[in-house]
A and B are shown apart, each in its own frame.
Chain A
């Protein structure tokens, strides 16, 4: 027994990794009565595995911030998740997941999971002590009440949450904050805001064609997007189009995995995409290849745009600016204008720039002037929120009576904030999520003293990590809800273990494809993990016990019931179902025309496509999709820090199964540049700029241009690697109109490199 106690203490102090200890901890957590161990030891290749009639099958969906949002079929035996597959009912997922999704079984049962509520004595010390849920809630609730007592409001309590879990019921986290009072919220999105604004200026909404409809296209430009890494299920439609004779052009500063599958690849100079699009537009104009009928009928401001092109843009200028040869621009412009239909998929990377929104508007214009918007196989594809019309029951909560809040300019709201704006006297205080560090440092009256983090890993993903660490110091309490001891948890006071997708009920949709999936609870929560909904209920119970009426969140929640409450007639109608229970048979696709804007009724003030947008002017931009010069370099190399195919932001790469495939970080450098710097393949190098520095291995390859360094964003467990040591918080040009705050110029970064 003393051995057991010893084990228990060791687990409390650290996260042990051996299987024996893992099983032990399951026993301790009481999670194992009937744990057959099937999951805990590898299957053997010769074992009598039976595939039919032997499993309970559950429906799940991947809730990550990803184009694909795969529908999952989970196979459970004796209460243990055995393996998962893609749902065959979804033509998009088509029976398979991705390299990340297939890791989920290990994620659920990872010995590295945070198992209990824990408290750290001294942030960053690793001196974690296990506490009970009751103790955790008591400490948190008392701190919240003390803040309210001192400040007279709860504006000293801030929430940072973004895209770590897009399961709809997880909007309960925002709801929980509202149920406590008016609080401070980090708002905006680091992901895609400049492009959202651009598409809203041009068309009145962001609304893409069905990705499955790419197969119908005769000409595809994949512009700053790398589906071979970031949307693997979209690739089959691109191949299908190719097989039917379509041409595929990839435009990217990097020769990506997708570029290798294209018919042609253009290595564009980073952030000059607008010049390239406008150069093509000018040539199409000169050649008389504009779709005059479409433009006359469906747009305003084209004459002014044409005038701008004639006065300011030439193909030669575009070639000089972008690096793409003039004869190529001319050729592709003509091919694109004559192909019918032709489409452009606009990636999120190309708008993470100080001119990103302007670049997206220029590309939109190219698609519109060739009459390709509103057409099957056409479209300026970026994203959509067309299928997100849920009730947001978990989100919409009333503040307790007598709550005081922000009386300044009403707080901005993010693109996923579906709460109805009211005419309340007070509001939450909104701070720009893309400048989290600076905003936390600057906020006064009252200062932010407490931070709640959920569905987000700010110390990994927010910009200028050094500044953020400084800003964290002024906080009196940091509470992090997570599954792993990541870089944010390192700087937390209290950590709360949250369930994986298999341990909770929710519902999921995508911002790219048009499928709807329910997410059933397939296994009991592991260890002491709770869903965000259950955490909200637990906090409310404690708040009300200590100070009756201090929190309006229900204290008892059936998460399945709450999942059901997210559905409404609109969703049922859109997906052609009678009840949410129909989704138990598999995911369903929205009954929509494959082309967005097929009725050509745009949501702009003029109801037309607006080459000239007064709304843009109102938000401080040019009326026309004019070129905006890129950010001036502040160091010799352009530094790009995009997604890796092995992770989504800071998730997946830490799991040991992925370690077999992707064990360590690299910086990619062109061999020519490496030679000048005396760097050989595999050398340890230092990458540094005004923000900070990183030491890591160099990998030589001509996939990156000679003036560019590339390293993938990632969190490797037990490795300090973090690209945000090198990324500052400079804003993108657009985003404030629709997402509350401008985006961030993640790819407008520069650095130098030297042998370490």
Chain B
């Protein structure tokens, strides 16, 4: 197996602060409305309290990325050294194929450039020996950079409730489910 890095989304530690999402903007200054990383609150069917458990998601840098498959101009490449899926905006013609076909809704349309764009895993930072901006920023180590080959953590899973399950394209992300505290509600009002 080729080396593949990914994100570990530990909902047990995630407080939903959105620091990762803003750290991404701090690094890349995306156009307003163009978002690479989103912190999704889990639906109440998955976690019984509204906006109290989260998945922080960006590009999953899949083993078999749909974006790369469908792109007519080969704007997407997958790096051999770490499996990061890179989008080349010089090649991109803004046709929107990747945006329509990514099952995770990752690539976004940049209305100013009229081109697609997405999370780069901060490959330039990786190449400089730094953690990606979002991972570096997380105050609770809820979002981590992992090497899928060596990553072992009890309780970590490949799929998670609410996250689309596409084993054939194999997204490079692992999850850990949130915990629930014992909740003692008021007896009197």
Cβ-based interface call for B1 (8 A): no
Binds B, one of A265-273, A509-517, A541-549: A265-273
Say yes or no: is A166 at the interface (Cβ < 8 Å to chain B). Answer: no
Stretch at the interface among A42-50, A197-205, A607-615, A616-624: A42-50
A287 interface contact, C-beta 8 A: no
A261–B16 Cα distance when bound, in Å, is 11
A260-B178 contact, Cβ under 8 Å, with A45-B117, A94-B139, A656-B32: yes
Question: Is B157 part of the contact surface with A, judged by Cβ < 8 Å?
Answer: no
Chain A's closest residue to B27 (CB) is A83
Interface-lining segment among A227-235, A277-285, A339-347, A733-741 = A227-235
| B181, A46: Cβ atoms closer than 8 Å | no
> Binary interface profile of B, 1-20, with partner A (CB < 8 Å = 1, else 0)?
00000000000010111110
Q: Does A659 contact B (CB under 8 A)?
A: yes
Q: Which of A532-540, A700-708, A717-725 contacts B (4 or more CB under 8 A)?
A: A700-708
Whether B18 contacts A265 by the Cβ 8 Å rule is no
User: SS class of chain B's interface: helix, strand, loop or mixed?
Assistant: loop
Contact A96–B182 (Cβ < 8 Å): no
Complex Cα spacing A261 to B13, Å? 8
Instruction: Report A307-340 residues with CB < 8 Å from chain B CB.
Output: 319-320, 322-325, 328
**Is residue B67 contacting chain A, with contact meaning CB distance below 8 A?**
no
B residues within 8 A CB of A657? 22, 25, 32
The 5 closest A-B pairs by CB, nearest first: A323-B186, A701-B50, A45-B120, A228-B15, A102-B22
**Does B86 lie within 8 Å of A707, measured CB to CB?**
no
B51/A701 in contact, CB under 8 A: yes
CB distance from B56 to the nearest CB of A (A): 12
* B interface residues, tally (CB under 8 Å): 60
Q: A703, B19: Cβ atoms under 8 Å?
A: no
Spell out B's residues near A (CB within 8 Å): 13, 15-19, 21-23, 25-36, 39, 49-53, 86-90, 110, 117-120, 124-125, 128, 130, 133, 136-141, 178-189
A70 nearest in chain B by CB position: B139
A495 lies within 8 A of chain B by Cβ: no
Which A residues are within 8 Å of any B CB, using their own CB? 39, 41-52, 83-86, 94-100, 102-106, 228-229, 232-233, 235-236, 239, 250, 255, 257-269, 319-320, 322-325, 328, 645-646, 656-661, 699-703, 705-707
Which residues of the other chain, A, contact B23 by a CB distance below 8 angstroms? 96-97, 102
Cβ A645 vs Cβ B18 within 8 A: yes
Tell me the complex Cα distance, A229–B183, Å: 19
- Inside 8 A of A99's CB, which chain B residues have their CB? 17-19, 21-22
**B29 touching A43, Cβ below 8 Å:** yes
Whether A102 lies near B30 (C-beta < 8 A) is no
A447 to B19 alpha-carbon distance, docked (Å): 47
Taking the closest CB of chain B, its distance from the CB of A723, in whole angstroms, is 19
- CB pair A48–B124 under 8 Å, yes or no, is yes
B140 pairs with A239, CB closer than 8 A: yes
Residues of B within 8 A of A45 (CB): 28, 36, 86-87, 89, 117-120
Q: Is the CB of B181 within 8 A of A702?
A: no
Give the shortest distance, in Å, between A632 (CB) and chain B (any CB).
Answer: 15
The CB with the most chain B CB atoms within 10 A, among A49, A319, A701, is that of A49
Docked-complex contact A319 and B137, CB < 8 angstroms: no
Within the complex, the shortest CB–CB distance from A481 to chain B, in Å, comes to: 26
Q: B182 contacts which chain A residues (CB < 8 A)? A: 263-265
